[in-house]
Structure 1
Amino acid sequence: MRKTVFMFSGQGSHYFRMGQDLFEHDPVFRQWMLRLDDLASSLCGERVVDAIYSPSDRETFDRTLQTHPAIFMVEYSLAQSLIQAGLKPDITLGASLGSFAAATLAGFMRVEDALAAVVQQAAAFEACCDRGGMIAVLADQTLYAQPYLREQSELAAINFSSHMVVSAPQAHLAQIERSLGEREVVYQRLPVSYAFHSQWIDEARAPFESFMSSIRGTPGTLPLASCREATLLTELPNDFFWRVVREPIRFKDTIASLEQRGAHRYIDVGPAGTLATFTKYCLSSDSQSTAHAIMSPFGNERRSMAALLRG
């Protein structure tokens, strides 16, 4: 029997009004969003729900102190809605920031502590780090050996064989994009404010880990597939929640590790459905596994969720 994997994505998967269809029409999703928003407001002094679902249009939605908790809240609320509807995970998978929600759902942290940690991490980035960014590159990772990438950025993620992400300081981003464009390499800048998974966020480590020393973990109830180690974890290292945002995302290797254990049903509970897309590219042609997205910038979340639940 296939095991069900709930997959949680990180920074870059968010967008303005993500999950609005569910927020307006799914009572479980809305209940959790409002409950978590009350907690987030007490932690950072802002209503995250207002930032996500503001009635007025906005050009950008990339302030880390808003997007960090917003991603966590949307993912955790969707996971709870699926569980309430009868679809429960056997494994959780966390990519970068998504590791907080994945670990919480797997029983390693209380949800209140996880959201506080997410807010504290965002605050540490804003207080300690220079601005930077991330660029998704549709090319084999061997391209990273080229000096114009290697000397100006760090390899942040390998999602599948022809998709990687690089991180760089703000001053390097435009030149990297020009170099990629000149070589007709397809790329896309991600809507983030910092160079996650690189040396350029190291200044945030000390204040974040100081806060984490006050958080007591709990024994997990589900295994967690970590995209840092590319393996299943049944207990978390002390520095786990820093390492998952500092070290490269090994999504391709993580799916390969799970596939060695048998077929799975991969369910993307992230805002954009990107992990489901990545998974489809990672699966071999003879794999019995399937990958499913629920949310996307195009909406129709309830329809996608209903189709998944029927299956």
Structure 2
Amino acid sequence: APTPADRPADDEIWPTETAQAALFAHQAALADAWRAAGIRPALLLGHSVGEYAALYAAGALTLEGGLRLTAWRGRLMQTRCQAGGMLAVRADQTTARRIARAAGAELAAVNGPHAQVLSGPPQALKEAAALLDQEGLRWRALPVDRAFHSAGIDSALDEFRTRARGVTYRPLRTPLVTTADGELRRAGWTVDVEYLCRQARQPVRFGLAMDTAVEQGCRDFVEIGAGRTLTGLGRHCVPDSRWLSGQGEGGGAAEQAHGFLTALGSLYGRGADLDWHALTGDGGRVPLPGHPLRRRAVPFRAEASVPAPEKPGPDDEVLLVIRELAADKLGRPTADVTPDSSFFELGADSLSLMSMTTELEQRYGVRVPVREVFDSADTPRRLAERVARLRGDVPVVREPVNQEPVIREPVVQEPVVQEPVVQEPVVQEPVVQEPVVEQPAAPAAPSESPEGLHALFGQQLRLAEQLVEQVGEMISRQLDVLAASGTTTASPAPARTQARSQAPLVPRPAPTPTPSTPSPA
């Protein structure tokens, strides 16, 4: 199993001495850019060292004061504290606290119902990782070299407290939720040195702070910083919350500016008032060229034919569909959803994952429970492998093929006519049984055309008329037989012979030109 020291090559650790001040400067600049564009936040909160930028945006710190505090904080934690680390754990708070206690580590952050962070010395984190592996819980080492928000920074707090007393603190102008305790600090509250020390030492209660923000009616959040770390955590805490990136993604200035303007456009679409003068400046007209264009004909050259790419296999096709679904549900470009990206880190929540698994079930006919997507199938590649395994056991549901309806003619049976029975010696009325006529069987699939229906109805009416005529003729002849016999006993044999010889058979109905008509039964 990997150890906390096994980190990707591109996940380089930034020295704490400079990282904290750099993060504050970057976030403060973004906050000023958003304020210049006309965006005024209703509430502010920050995560760990990000709370200093939130204090600056709320008016509690000056830019100089925030830079001094974060520079001292980072330098003291780098020089006065022993090496350590942190693990992001996919587990509930009770489980994470139990494992931390057993390994000699501490719970450093409660970021949501199933998002915790452990902190401690390297050996304690190694034991914690082993316990997590034994219980089948996912974890990830964070790119830090100190055990923040734990006893590992106690040696730096006394000197930090002394230096922090030399900074001027001002009352809040904008309400702020402190993440050390999840409390709402209204305008007029002034931060003090003891809170800053407690904020550095105690666990981050980001989940509790999000609950407080929601209680104040907040649903739209803008992450002022690089990346989308808080976007994923925030959606995990409040699934129906909406998040925007403060600067976009990518290292280039053009990409970051595009992300910034895109987020501004989204807020404008939701009713936010923007300062267009600050965004566009004075403007001006672009001068047209003062000379005629030089036109030159360029011959057309046919491009060399490019062979068509090979069609993806079944697993590759499922993986591509899952990446596109995840990008659509999470509002991100498909290129950002790599095969090994974690749905949780991309900002997925239970609602978006449930919608995605429902569409996969409709498309492939297999059902993957949402709890598996949170656990063992938490990346597009793992989810595609799970769908592929299920498709090996469950046949793929294909679209039904439309077939022409088969029109079957009704089966017409001849009526069975029973002759009257004359009994002796007592002259009784002859027992006349009604002819047993079975109704024609209903057609299995009648034709949808009006001509076919009219022909069928006409044939049934003609058959009914013939049956009525035959029954009437039979009754008339039976009455004649009774009148001829009088009140004397009649010989049954001649009467039966006469009735048999005179009763005509029921004629067959004339066949219609409809093909494939079965013979009458």
Q: Who is 2:206 aligned against?
A: 251
Partner of 1:232: 184
Take 2:47 and 2:97, find their aligned partners in 1: how far apart are those partners?
A: 24
Hey, what does 2:174 align to over in structure 1?
222
Does 1:170 pair with 2:122? yes
**Matched residue type, 1:302:** A
Q: Equivalents in 2 of 1:184, 1:65: separation in Å? A: 35
Structural mapping, 1:127-166, within 5 Å: 127-147=79-99, 149-166=101-118
Change (3 A) 1:93 1:145: closer
Amino acid aligned to 1:276: T
Partner of 2:388: none
AA aligned opposite 2:45:
L
- Name structure 1 gaps, 5 residues minimum: 1-56
Is the 2:16–2:78 Cα contact (8 Å) retained in structure 1?
yes
* Contact 2:30/2:246, CA 8 A, preserved across alignment: no
2:120–2:152 contact (8 Å) kept in structure 1: yes
Deviations 1:18-73 (A, max 9, x none): xxxxxxxxxxxxxxxxxxxxxxxxxxxxxxxxxxxxxxx97723210121111111
Matches of 2:191 and 2:20, distance apart in 1: 21
Relative distance call for 1:110 and 1:184 in structure 2 (3 A) is: same
- Provide TM-score, normalisation by structure 2: 0.46
Match of 2:265 in 1: 310
Q: Which has the larger radius of gyration?
A: 2
1:278 is matched with which residue? 233
Question: 1:278 and 1:146 mapped to 2: Cα distance?
Answer: 22
| Matched residue type, 2:197 | W
Q: What residue is the counterpart of 1:209 in the other structure?
A: 161
Match of 1:199 in 2: 151
Matched, 1:184 2:136: yes
Distance in 2 (alpha carbons) for counterparts of 1:267 and 1:217: 25
Q: Are the counterparts in 1 of residues 249 and 256 from structure 2 also a CA contact under 8 Å? A: no
CA contact (8 A) 2:13 2:145 kept: no
Partner SS for 1:146: helix
SS at match of 1:196: coil
| Cα offsets for 1:144-188 (capped at 9, x unmatched) | 243565442111111111100010112222222232223321111
1:227 deviates by 0.7
Contact 2:87 2:139 in 1 (8 A): yes
- Larger RCO: 1 or 2 (CA < 8 Å, sep 6+): 1
Q: Which aligned pairs between 1:10-25 and structure 2 lie closer than 5 A?
A: none
C-alpha distance in 1 between matches for 2:205 and 2:220: 19
Q: What is the deviation of 1:284?
A: 4.9
Please show how residues 51-62 of structure 1 align to structure 2 within 5 Å. Answer: 60-62=12-14
Q: 1:296 to 1:187 in 2, by over 3 A?
A: farther
- Distance in 1, matches of 2:124 and 2:146, equals 12
> As a proportion of its length, which structure holds more strand?
1
Q: Any conservation in 2 of the 1:231–1:254 contact (CA below 8 Å)?
A: yes
Report if aligned partners of 1:99, 1:244 keep a CA contact under 8 Å in 2.
Answer: no
Is the alpha carbon distance of 1:147 and 1:173 closer, same or farther for their aligned partners in structure 2, counting shifts above 3 Å?
A: closer
Change in 2 beyond 3 A, CA 1:260/1:250? same
Conserved 8 A contact 2:248-2:259: no
Letter in 2 for 1:227: T
CA distance in 2 between counterparts of 1:258 and 1:92 reads 9
CA RMSD of aligned residues (A): 2.1
Q: In the aligned structure 1, how far is the partner of 2:175 from the partner of 2:122?
A: 37
Q: Relative to structure 1, is the Cα distance of residues 221 and 170 closer, same or farther in structure 2, using a 3 angstrom cutoff?
A: same
Match of 1:103 in 2: 55
Q: Structure 2 CA distance, aligned partners of 1:85 and 1:150?
A: 50
Tell me the distance in 2 between the aligned counterparts of 1:252 and 1:90: 19
What code does the residue aligned with 2:46 have?
G
CA shift in 2, pair 1:294/1:109, >3 Å: closer
Deviations 1:167-218 (A, max 9, x none): 0112222222232223321111111121111111101001100001111211
Alignment match, 2:26: 74
For 2:146 and 2:12, how far apart are their aligned partners in 1? 15
The runs of at least 4 aligned residues of structure 1 exceeding 6 Å deviation read none
* Contact 1:95–1:244 (CA under 8 A) maintained in structure 2: no
Work out the CA distance in 2 between the residues paired with 1:131 and 1:290.
Answer: 37
CA distance in 2, matches of 1:259, 1:147: 30
Q: Which amino acid aligns with 2:137?
A: V
Q: Which moved more, 1:117-126 or 1:229-238?
A: 229-238
1:266 and 2:221 matched: yes
What is the identity, as a one-letter code, of the residue corresponding to 1:135? L
Deviation at 1:115, TM superposition (A): 0.4
Q: Which amino acid aligns with 2:261?
A: A
Taking a change above 3 Å as real, the CA distance of residues 84 and 120 of structure 1, as seen in their structure-2 partners, is same
Contact 2:45 / 2:54 at 8 angstroms: preserved in 1? Answer: yes
1:301 aligns with 2:301: no
The answer on 1:115 being equivalent to 2:115 is no
Structure 1 residues 293 and 59: CA distance shift in structure 2, 3 A: closer
